[in-house]
Structure 1
Amino acid sequence: MIDDPVTARRLREAMPVFTLLAGCLLVLVLAVILSLGRDVLMPVTLAIMLSFVLAPGVRLLQRWRLPRALAVLVVVVVAFGALFGIGALIAREAAQLAADLPRYTLTMRDKIDALRNSAGGSVTIDRLIDMAQDLGRAIQPPETAPASAPAGGGEKPMLVEIHERKPALPAALGSYLSPVLHPLATTGLILLFSLFILAQREDLRNRAIRLTGASDLRATTAAIDDAISRLSRFFLAQAALNLSFGTVVGLGLWLIGVPSPILWGVLAGILRFVPYIGAVISMVGPLVVAAAVDPGWSMLIATVILFAVVEPVAGHVIEPLLYGHSTGLSPIAVILAATLWTFLWGPVGLVLATPLTVCLVVLGRHVERLRFLDVMLGDRPALSPSEIFYQRMLAGDPAEAIDKARQVLKRRNLVTYYDEIALGGLRLAQDDRARGSLSREQQEEVGAAIETVVRTLGTMPVQKGGAVGSETAAAVDEIGPDRVAPVRRPDELAAGWDGAAPVLVVASRGPFDAAAAGMLAQVLGRHGLAARSVSQDSLARGERPDLAGVALVCFSYIEPLSTSHIRLAARLARREIPGVRVMVAVWRERDRAMLDRLRRTTSADVLVTSLGEAVEAAMALAGRPAGIRGDAAPRAEPVPTTAGLAGAALPG
């Protein structure tokens, strides 16, 4: 306990710096642990990733009445047998290709000479050709020249051979076995861990529940099961897609005539696990071989066309159908993860970068203490749609907010956008105003920006359907489905509701209330009920709107008021406009107990808290009663005054 208030204040101010330094230190320690413990951690990680892929096979065999241990053993043996077969196939094809490469050097020389002649002395082309020639000389085995007699008929020089001293038997065995034992040991660890993880899956899940949150078993179990199922589906879908990609590439190269198509197909399937650049890297080898084999350029062009067609189809057509439009990672997170894991674990880390980062993001979405991982690495917007809207208003950029709204309106109605996004931004602005975070100038600027958005959306044509961005798709998913409200035709309106503007919306005196009132008037007009809005400030200044034909007065408030003010406003409105209906809209109030109390104590006909409710209530009031014909004689309309209505506005 620190008694000195100055020291306590300084410690509070320095706490974010200490937190940042502690976080950086933690990241550094984790990086060191991952780098130093790669020989153990990498097999464990590979085993965990492999268990996600093999778990559905184990469950399938268990449904066929196979014991758990035997099912795990069968699945793991089959999987590792397939992996060993693929490895042997790659080794055999690579050895065959290496033996055949020297035969293609003559073709490469002819193409290099043709390129040099067509380049016309270009320095860049010359350098590239020299590099290709150096590579060809490195690949081609050296030729041994026959021994010739020295000039002048002298004696032949003595041939001297230098032999290194033979190492001892243990050293010789170590030098020969070391390159073989390390991969075998790693493979053995992966096999062992995979067996135990699959056999003890439920026990490991229970321990994870204990570590992450045993206080709420239902929520924690649901989160872990959801994370495991999502990751399993993702890895299975990715493995199936990459296997199909490699198969198609191998078949295509075989039809084209590129040597070793099996090798290139297998490498293409493996390298496609590397995000963004994996398919490009897998294309380099076949292109080089195609250029070396074919005296012309047709094989090279056909190989380019093959990759140019197969990869976009796999990445932009099949992949979204299998596991969504993306892996759930932001592009910068994918690049950063690939760089980091390659630095720590080499080529294996490059292949595991995306799966490992997906695991971290899934954990961040389900574990509250790891939420920062989803914010840092996920592709979902870091701010809610309402926060993004309000941030654009603070930045004085209504144009971007209008553009985002245009995207949302392709999938949702205007009333839904206003209810779920724009009004949410208004509430955030009201919170900052209540805390004193916004100056008067900022309040006016934010209010004017919101009104600009509302006016623009009111005149913008509606365009349903079409592609939307990831941020818009996330916003649409968050706000949920549309709330369907009826639309009234003129012949469906009751007598007294078919005037030029039967609804008058009175905005409260806050800097943001005029925008909310404009939203309500706008959506009512979209649903067939003409409305206009007026502010209490204009009424207080003596402006008198035409009240003839007004059938409904709606008092719009963002901040909840006292029930006495609302009751007084409704009473004065009824006194000045006989027969008028009164609606009270409290856009901020969400507490059910408070709403019930407002309904009991106020004299309003309708109390609403959302634009959807307001539209439904207004349409119900304006509808023609059953049995009334469209040509029924209208009732006589009173000619009201506006002094009382101005008084009704004053309590706001």
Structure 2
Amino acid sequence: MGSDTPVGVETTARRGTALNPPRSARVTAAETPRAAMASPVVVGATIIAALYFGREIFIPIAIALLLSFVLTPLINRLRRLRLPRLVAVGVSVLLTLGIVGAMATLIGIQAADLAGDVPRYRATIERKIEGLRDSPVGHVTAYVANIGRALHNGGKEAGKEAAGAEKQAASPQPGPEQAAPPQKPLVVEVASTPPGALEMLSTVLAPVMHPLATVGIVFVVLLFVLMQREDLRDRMIRLAGSSDLHRTTVAMDDAAKRLSRYFVVQLALNAAFGIVVGIGLYVIGVPNPVLWAIFSALMRFVPYLGAVVSAILPMALAAAVDPGWNMMIAVAILFIILEPLTGQVFEPIFYGQSTGLSPFAVLVSALFWTWLWGPVGLLLSTPLTVCLVVLGRHVEHLEFLDVLFGDRPALTPVQNFYQRILAGDSEEVLGHAELILQQCSLSSYYNEVVLKALELAARDGARGVLTARQKGAMRTALGELIADLSDRGDAVTEAGGEGEAGACSPMPMGPAPDALSRAWTRPGAVLCISGRGFLDEAAAAILAQILEKRGLGVRTVPFAEASSARITRFGPGAARMACVISLALDGEPTHLRRLIRRLKDRMPDVPILLGLWLAQGEAAGRAGRGTERATQAEAQVGSLREAVEAVLAAAQQDPAAPDETGSKPVPDRGAGTARLSAPAEA
């Protein structure tokens, strides 16, 4: 009999042993980006769910942690007075507990007083409502309301008539038994016993038991956090990364000091704001100014809407108290003056900088924490998000928090520029340039931003990740940018203000146009010849624009004009120097060697400056040595700055210049700037 075992499958079971079906070969699946992203998403969802369902526990812990940052400076001062840690912590916590208890007592007394006075304001409110009805606005509102009421009642009556007709048609005629009147029900009264003392006590304490329990948990956690502060710090350092203890310790200490200072300053400013509001409302005559002072101070912790809400309620009370409108207008003026003064003047002075959050992050955090923890989350939204952003700036694994919610640019100016030219968005490229050029000279912008972005493009081109369409879009965007900046001066802004352009270094302005000889100011005195790379024409145009702004006569020559097929028609004209520009990473010695040989054959007396701006290290050395040895190029430079300096030096040392006489200078290929000799003027 034939065997059923497939060919190639060896049965290794012994005689008398049941064979198991052969297992199919399995290959462990490689980790995909989707699988890599699933783990953080699951972790984040788990954390959010834990915060939501465990808010009764996490809210007191969060409040205690924030209070610990506020109390840390006070504890440190008490420790400097040689008080034991237990005493310093106890004094600080008791002081905080006393302030919170006093504020709660004041709020309760003032709220009860306000609730008792509200019926007295009813007559004033009714008179103002009647006055509004007699005004033109009230007439229009009443007219619109009457129209809506008529439409609503008309539809309702029509529906009632139709329903009545259907009911009358469907119901039978009442008989004698149905026509009998119903019997009158008996009224039963249940006498309730008066509540006892225990029931009254439970009724009074039930509403405040939960807040008191929360306050108790907050201060218990706060006490332990302050007592174990060093131990918690060490554990955070271990979590952040213990490979570089010095750097991690400095970063965490700096973050803790910044957070403590921020929260103390914010608390002090909000308290001062509330005090000034209370004094102003007392002078104006608004009842219960202490209540509104505390309310305004607390609402300033709420971003954006807090100031509006803190002003609306006192304004409404002023309108209810005053028979006229003067008190309400005075309250509105008080808040209109105080809020911008505090937010735009005092906060930048005392904070030094912003909170570190972007406006979008403040709004999103307010919505998120309000959904998560309700009104308490709204009050804590900004402080909690500030803590998360600070952690993101100092802990590598949490860097995404700083990227998402921080106010620092997500991309550097170089990356931002490259991303926009890669998309081919000329308008955004120009807007980005105008933003940086407010604090940076044009030549510095080209040297520090544009050329470094072109280096990124050259690297992507060398890797083969750029399509022909993307290269074309980049060339178009660069050409439009250079053309739009042609009428802009190259003056360096004196004020180096804030912004992403602060790192730009000024380029040398060079000699004034009247300090150059006519031979160097005539059109075509300097030839800027591009290589064959897709970015070389833009680089040559940048160099030509900078030299032209320094008074030199410049002419740009595309690679096609100096190619082997058209070199016979190429004429040097009045050229005093030629600059060959290439942005190739490897220098392309063969390509440049042939190009410079062709140029030498057409203009043997014109010195040639080779610019390999992106070739670095050994590639630049090989390209320079090979090109100079094969083509006898006079000099080589490795950056836009060196190219500008070399051309200006050659123009100043030209024997034809007004201040120069004597022998022809020799090339200097020392480190740094290359100095070239120019041909004698015919």
Shorter-chain-normalised TM-score: which range? 0.7 to 0.9
- Consecutive unaligned residues in structure 1, runs of 5 or more: 128-157, 641-652
User: Residues 249-297 of structure 1: CA distance to partner in whole angstroms, max 9, x if unpaired?
Assistant: 2222122211112211211111110111011111121011010011001
Distance in 2, matches of 1:43 and 1:514, equals 64
Matched, 1:107 2:124: yes
C-alpha deviations, 1:432-462, integer Å up to 9, x for none?
Answer: 3333333323312221211111111122357
Residue by residue over 1:86-119, the C-alpha shift from the partner in whole angstroms, topping out at 9 and shown as x without a partner, is 2222222222222222111111110011111221
Distance 1:265 1:615, change over 3 A: farther
Equivalent position to 2:640, from 600, 611, 633:
611
1:120 pairs, out of 135, 139, 147, with 139
- Alignment partner of 2:526 out of 477, 488, 503: 503
1:191 paired with 2:219, answer yes
Higher relative contact order at CA 8 Å, sep ≥6: structure 1 or structure 2?
1
Q: Which residue in 1 is equivalent to 2:614?
A: 588
- Counterpart code for 1:615: V
Alignment of 1:452 onto 2:480? yes
1:173 shift after superposition: 5.9
* Greater C-alpha Rg: 2
Mapped contact 2:585–2:619 kept (Cα < 8 A) = no
When residues 518 and 355 of structure 1 are mapped into structure 2, their CA distance, relative to the original with a 3 A threshold, is: same
Tell me what 1:303 maps to.
Answer: 331
Change (3 A) 1:583 1:631: closer
For 1:273 and 1:182, the matched residues in 2 are separated by 23
Matches within 5 A, 1:122-271: 122-123=141-142, 162-163=191-192, 166=195, 176-271=204-299
- TM-superposition CA deviations, 1:29-83 (whole Å, max 9, x none): 2122112222222121111111212222222333344444333333333233222
1:615-634 equivalences under 5 Å are 615-624=644-653, 630=659, 632=661
User: Using the alignment, how far apart are the partners of 2:436 and 2:191 within structure 1?
Assistant: 79
Shift of 1:418: 1.6
CA contact (8 A) 1:362 1:374 kept: yes
Contact 1:337-1:354 at 8 Å conserved across structures: yes
Shift of 1:536: 1.6
Structure 1 residue 34 corresponds to structure 2 residue 51: yes
Report the Cα offset of residue 352 of structure 1: 0.6
Contact 2:653 2:660 (8 Å CA) reproduced:
no
Structure 2 CA distance, aligned partners of 1:535 and 1:218? 54
Q: 1:1-22: CA deviations, max 9, x gaps? A: x9889x95xx66xx33344444
Aligned counterpart, 1:476 = 501
For residues 171-191 of structure 1, give each alpha carbon's deviation from its aligned partner in whole angstroms, at most 9, with x where no partner exists: 776554443343233223222
- Greater shift in the superposed pair: 260-269 or 31-40: 31-40
Partners of 2:414 and 2:143 lie apart in 1 by 54
Q: Given residue 529 of structure 2, which amino acid in structure 1 is its aligned partner? A: V
CA offsets per residue over residues 320-349 of structure 1, 9 Å max, x none? 333356422233322221122112222111
Change over 3 Å in CA distance of 1:300–1:18 after alignment to 2? same
Among residues 282, 301, 306, which one is paired with 1:278 in the alignment?
A: 306
Change over 3 Å in CA distance of 1:467–1:632 after alignment to 2: closer
Question: Residue type of the partner of 1:28?
Answer: A
Residues 267-276 or 325-334, more deviating: 325-334
Residues 245, 269 of structure 1: 8 Å contact kept: yes
Match of 1:350 in 2: 378
Distance in 1 separating the partners of 2:87 and 2:576: 80
Q: Please, which moves more after superposition, 407-416 or 237-246?
A: 237-246
Q: C-alpha distance in 2, partners of 1:114/1:408?
A: 57
- Residue from 551, 563, 566 that aligns with 2:577: 551
Contact 1:586–1:609 at 8 Å: present in 2 too?
A: yes
Between stretches 313-322 and 510-519, larger displacement belongs to: 313-322
TM-score, normalization by structure 1 = 0.82
- Give 1:56's aligned residue: 73
Within 2, Cα distance between the matches of 1:544 and 1:254? 87
The change in CA–CA distance for 1:19 and 1:620 in structure 2 (over 3 A counts) is same
Match for residue 423 of structure 1? 451
CA distance in 2 between counterparts of 1:466 and 1:124 reads 63
Deviation at 1:602, TM superposition (A): 5.3
Among 387, 395, 407, the alignment partner of 1:379 is: 407
Gaps of 5+ in 2: 1-23, 147-186, 665-677
Tell me which residue corresponds to 1:79.
Answer: 96
Asked if structure 2 preserves the Cα contact closer than 8 Å seen for 1:410 and 1:463, the reply is no
| SS of equivalent to 1:122 | helix
Q: Deviations over 1:211-255 (max 9, x none)?
A: 111112233223222322222222222222212221222222122
Question: Equivalent pairs: percent with the same residue?
Answer: 42
1:441 — aligned with what? Answer: 469
Following the alignment from structure 1 to structure 2, what is the Cα–Cα distance between the partners of residues 159 and 467? 88
Deviates more, 1:407-416 or 1:222-231: 222-231
**AA partner of residue 362 (structure 1):** V
On the 8 A contact 1:549/1:637 being kept in 2, the answer is no
Letter in 2 for 1:388: N
Q: Deviations over 1:555-602 (max 9, x none)?
A: 3324332446556666765676556554333332344x5555666665
1:105-153 CA distance string (max 9 Å, x none) = 11111001111122115159979xxxxxxxxxxxxxxxxxxxxxxxxxx
Q: Is the 8 A contact 1:35 1:344 kept in 2?
A: yes
| Equivalent residues of 1:409, 1:463 under 8 A apart | no
Q: TM-score, normalised by structure 2?
A: 0.78
* Equivalenced residues, count: 597
State the shift of 1:358 in Å.
Answer: 1.3
RMSD: 3.6
Letter in 1 for 2:314: P
Between 1:387-396 and 1:369-378, the stretch displaced more is 387-396
Which stretch has the larger CA shift, 365-374 or 580-589? 580-589
CA contact (8 A) 2:133 2:142 kept: no
In the alignment, does 2:337 pair up with 1:340? no
1:525 aligns with 548
Distance 1:248 1:338 in 2: 26
Distance change in 2, residues 1:484/1:29 (3 Å):
same
Structure 2 residue 64 is matched with structure 1 residue 47: yes
Partner letter of residue 98 of structure 1? Answer: A
**Greater CA deviation, 289-298 or 539-548?**
539-548
State the SS of the aligned residue for 1:459.
coil
Contact 1:495 1:624 in 2 (8 A): no
